[in-house]
Each structure stands twice: as C-alpha cells, then as structure tokens.
Amino acid sequence: MYDYLIVGSGLYGATFAYMARQKGKSCLVIEKRGNVGGNIYTEEQEGIQVHCYGAHIFHTSNKEVWEFVNKFADFNGFINMPVANYKGEMYNLPFNMNTFNKMWGVVTPQQAKEKIEEQKKESGITEPKNLEEQAIYLIGKDIYEKLVKGYTEKQWGKKCSELPPFIIKRLPVRYTYDNRYFNDVYQGIPVGGYTQIVEKMLEGCDVKLNTDFFEFIKENKGIAKKIVYTGQIDTYFNYCFGELEYRSLRFETEVLDCENYQGNAVINYNEAEIPYTRIIEHKHFEFGTQPKTIVTREYPMKWSQGEEAYYPVNNERNNSLYSRYAEKAKEEENVIFGGRLGQYKYFDMDKTIEDAMKTARAELDK
C-alpha cells in the first residue's frame, strides 16, 4: 500500500509528490498520457525544445517558488514580449506606449491617457460588467476592436459581452514603453526544457503512464491511503451535477527549413478571420541558432468529453456549478482535489506550485 496515489503527473501532482517524498512518504503517480509533465511537457526536436501543449513562460514574484524551480533547472532569462498581428499591422503587447503610438500616433503618456479617456467617455461605461466593457474601459474602443475582440472571441468561443471581465485584467496596461508581457520579478525558460523538472520532482516515486484513473481504481481500490486527484473534478463525480465547461486546443506543429520564420517567440493573430490565435516559434524561447526552425499554430476548440480540457471557463454559471462539486468533494475524506482541473481555476505555473506546496504542507504536517 502506498501513502499517496497521485492522479496526474502535471506540475501540481509532481510538486505534491516531491514534497511527500521529502517527508519519506511513498507515492504512486498515474498518468493517462504517454508522458509526464501535463501541459508543461517539452520535447527536443531538431535540437529545439518544443512546447508540446502551448507556450509556457515561467514567471513569478514568489521567491520561494522561484528558488524551488531553480533546484531542478537553470533558467535562461527569457522575457516574453509577444507581438500582435492585426491584418498585417504589427502591435506590441501588452498594451503600452508602443501600442498606443502605433495605434494613434500619440507620443506621451498624457496624450495616450487623453485618447483612452475620450473613447471611454464616448462609450458611456462606468461600471464594466463583462469583458467587452472592461476592455473598452481600460484601453478604449480602437484597441478593443483590433486587438481584443477577434482574439478573445476565437479563444473562448463566446462573445466578449458574455465573458467575465477578469480575463482581460490578466494583461497589464502600461503608460511606459515597456513590452514585457508579465510584471513579475523572476522570469525565464528552463534550459533543456520543462520535462526534466517534472522528472526530477518525481524521482523516488513509482510512475505508471498511459493509465487512466477510472479504469485503474476499479482493480486497485486499496492501493493507497490517500489520493491526490488532479483530473477534472466533474469527471470524478461522473458529471452528476452536469458538465463544467472547458476550452480545448489543437496544435499544428511543423519543422521549417529556414533559420528564422517570424522573428519572435510568440506572434498573436488578432483578427477573427484567421482561425488560430497565435504562432509560436520555439527556438526563440532559448535564443536558438539551429539551421531549422519549428513553429506551432494554436487553434482554440470546443471541448467535449474525451477532448483535452485546457482552460476552465470561469464565468458565473460554471463557477457556481463548480462550487457544488467542491462542496461534494469535501465528503471525500481521503481525496485531495488539486490543480487547474481539480480546482477548476486558471492557475499559472507559479500559482500551481504555490498551491500544491501549501496543500502538501497542511497535509504532511498533520
């Protein structure tokens, strides 16, 4: 019998497993995919680390989390500065003085503020109730229409007027010429990719790949004293209150016989007519000089059972459905629900680690 059966080898499961091993606990990790790492999994091709489940840039302001990940890899100092392509016009992101200058020709922060204030006034919005209103309130109608509307509606498969405002608040708005996408103090990409981080975290654990929890548990009921479950919470309860909504993605990756395809790691495609949201050129995450390059187009997709669930859709309907599942989860005394799918939360990597550490400490110090 193991102390813990950990379902899912993503960052949450791996962090918990590492903390449990540090306390001398035995862990069995089961993973339904053919590899460990969940969505942070990277794989080397043509000498380039390919982010197989979408671009992952590590960023945090939590020193403990930063020191923790640095135990498992060196980080290369990469700073994400994506560029938006709207019908061939290139705009810097996040929304900053470079964006405002390109959009309106304004030069000073005062001029940019006046322009945004004017568009905000025209819209009549005083208390933004949805993403559309929030975006116009923050950056005006022009930027909303060119850089937010098409991208967001593709990404989420819903009208901006039906989405919660918080999603757009993830992006900084700055009145400086600063193109760094994240405000965090510590940022970078692990030299040699993310997979090694998870592999190192899982040292000393037994790991079974290609193993789905629901099949496995039928034959192995008493295999562990406790379960840490990082899969979808609604699936765990057999969708008894109904399906939570997720957004899925399809990645189309190709090796190109050229050294530099787009000149940046991430280029967003913001108009509605282009079906993908972004193209990632993986080598630029690690300042690569290989003769070839690898690019991935990211196509948002409707989720249905059996598809990979990448993003929770945290609108009111889903959040209140989730609280019913979370209430029911409390009755499962020997199961801890964690991670993006287990807690139905839009966690970045640092928040995933932070939360797994907190839960592991509370659990292991009992």
Nearer to ligand UDP, 9 or 277 (CB): 277
- 170 assigned to active site: yes
Which is the catalytic residue, given 117, 118, 170, 327? 170
Which is the catalytic residue, given 21, 33, 278, 340? 278
CA distance 168 to 272: 17
Q: Should residue 356 be labelled a site residue for ligand UDP when binding is judged by CB under 6 A?
A: no
Which is the catalytic residue, given 247, 269, 281, 325? 247
Given a contact cutoff of 8 angstroms between Cβ atoms, the answer to whether 340 and 309 are in contact is: no
Q: Should residue 297 be labelled a site residue for ligand FAD when binding is judged by CB under 6 A?
A: no
Which is the catalytic residue, given 174, 194, 229, 234? 174
Of the candidate residues 5, 11, 73, 135, the single one contacting ligand FAD (CB under 6 A): 11
Given a contact cutoff of 8 angstroms between Cβ atoms, the answer to whether 361 and 19 are in contact is: yes
- Number of residues that make up the chain: 366
Q: Should residue 268 be labelled a site residue for ligand UDP when binding is judged by CB under 6 A?
A: yes
Q: Is 59 left (phi over 0), alpha (psi -120 to 50) or beta?
A: beta
Number of residues near ligand FAD (by CB under 6 A): 33
Which is the catalytic residue, given 298, 350, 354, 355? 298
Minimum CB distance to ligand FAD, residue 211 (Å): 6
Q: Should residue 170 be labelled a site residue for ligand UDP when binding is judged by CB under 6 A?
A: yes
Q: Is 273 exposed, middle or buried (0-12, 13-18, 19+ CB in 10 A)?
A: exposed
Minimum CB distance to ligand FAD, residue 130 (Å): 23
Q: Should residue 278 be labelled a site residue for ligand FAD when binding is judged by CB under 6 A?
A: no
SS (H, E, C) 59-123: EECCHHHHHHHHCCCCECCCCCCCEEEECCEEEECCECHHHHHHHHCCCCHHHHHHHHHHHHHHH
Binding mask 307-336 for ligand FAD (x = CB under 6 A): ---x--------------------------
Given a contact cutoff of 8 angstroms between Cβ atoms, the answer to whether 159 and 131 are in contact is: no
How far is C-alpha 142 from the geometric centre of its chain's CA atoms? 27
Place of tokens 């990979």: 308
Q: Respond yes or no on whether the N-terminal peptide bond of residue 94 is cis (omega within 30° of 0).
A: yes
Q: Should residue 193 be labelled a site residue for ligand FAD when binding is judged by CB under 6 A?
A: no
Question: Nearest-CA neighbor of 348 among 3, 4, 1, 10?
Answer: 10
- 348 assigned to active site: yes
Which helix (H) or strand (E) covers residue 279, if one does? strand 278-281
- 346 assigned to active site: yes
Considering only residues 31 to 70 of the shown chain, the ones binding ligand FAD according to CB under 6 A are 31-33, 38-40, 54-57
Minimum CB distance to ligand UDP, residue 19 (Å): 26
Report the catalytic residues.
Answer: 170, 174, 247, 278, 298, 346, 348
Q: Which residues bind ligand FAD (CB under 6 A)?
A: 7-13, 30-33, 38-40, 54-57, 212-214, 230-231, 249, 310, 339-341, 347-350, 352
